[in-house]
Amino acid sequence: MNTRFRLLASIGIPLLLIVLVVGAFLWQQRAAGTAAGPRGTQKMTMMKLALDWTPNTNHTGIYVALKKGWYRDEGINLQLLPYSANVSPDVLVSSGKADVGISSTEGIVADAAVGQPVVSISAIIQHNTSALVTLENSGITRPGDLSGKVYGGFGAPYESAVVGEIIKQDGGTGQFKNVTLNVDAMQALESRRIDFVWVFEGWEIIQAQRAGVKLHVFPITSYGVADYYTPNIITSPNEIKQKPDLLRSFMAATAKGYEYARTHAQDSAQMLLSANPQGTFPDPGLVFASQAFLSPRYADRGRKWGWQDAAAWHGYPQFIINSNGIDDAAGHPIHSMDFNRLYTNQFLA
């Protein structure tokens, strides 16, 4: 037996014992971390998020955080509840059937008025990007021309007041026919079932451009409506009281997703596409074009994603109250509201 082999044989048993002891220690440490650590698989907490529409680029940051495993890292098993025309995300959240949801400032104010409050915990987009649109060849070239025309609505309580005010701001009577649609708004417009509709610049207007449909576009904040956040992520007052740590973890992962989407538009759009069944997006190019539009609008330059200011949360609610456009549960117009209870930044880092 050569010298080298004899040396290895002489130290083999002690070395084996050391390896076994160290290995057992490391395994125990890892097992303890899995059982007790907030990122461990045995501590995953289910959360339900109610979408406000079919998946789109308003939701990209959420899909990015899912794909990157950032909710899992926070100990959250996030389940996305698909949009239903029969029940709004606000109702699901206020009733406790969803922990969080996607809503809008308009909806949040209306919820508070009828005594079913939800709270905005972040602004997905920093400025309102919605507009009233008409077909370019309709002969309707400005909001004042919409008096007496047919509006394709969604059945929301605030629509008539907002749309009427825009028309009046441009010299019209403010009177129009409001019909609730059961088909796609842009399809209804293109088939001339309606004269105008309220859409988002970052989706339907880009969609129309890609299809060669020419529109007149009237941004609502250009006609007397205060700028405000939409869409928003909401939760319930009860959830805030009972699960503040969970909401903080949820927002940490969500903010990370949207911050990534701000600077990685193409990559994030691909994650949104890949996360949904084939056929969800008939025109994948629309997703990339929409994401290129929205990514820099998720937050203003030099500002963290999601942050909300009092000015926006006082501007729109006061506008809709002044317009007598919001009723309480008994159908009576309300004249005051505690605007500061409509939102919070407490879960944003």
Q: Contact at 8 Å (CB) between 126 and 95?
A: no
What domains lie within the chain, and their CATH numbers?
A: 45-127+229-341 (3.40.190.10), 136-222 (3.40.190.10)
Q: Contact at 8 Å (CB) between 198 and 134?
A: no
Tens digit of pLDDT for each residue in 227-278?
999 999 999 999 999 999 999 999 999 999 999 999 999 999 999 999 999 9
Tokens (6 digits) for 214? 């020419």
Which letter does DSSP use for residue 201 in this model? I
Tens digit of pLDDT for each residue in 66-101?
999 999 999 999 999 999 988 999 999 999 999 999
- Phi then psi for residue 96, to 5 deg, are 85, 5
Rounded-to-integer distance, Cα 250 and Cα 65, Å: 10
Whole-prediction pTM: 0.86
Rounded-to-integer distance, Cα 165 and Cα 146, Å: 11
Tokens (6 digits) for 88? 């709004």
Query: What was the pLDDT predicted at 160?
Result: 92
Rounded-to-integer distance, Cα 300 and Cα 298, Å: 7
> Which residue blocks in 37-69 are alpha helix, DSSP H?
60-68
Q: How far is CA 292 from the centre of its chain?
A: 17
Query: What was the pLDDT predicted at 85?
Result: 83
Residue 302 has a CB neighbour count (10 Å cut-off) of: 5
Query: What was the pLDDT predicted at 209?
Result: 97
Residues pairing with 153 in the sheet: 180
Query: What was the pLDDT predicted at 349?
Result: 86
Question: In the chain, which stretches have pLDDT less than 70?
Answer: 1-42
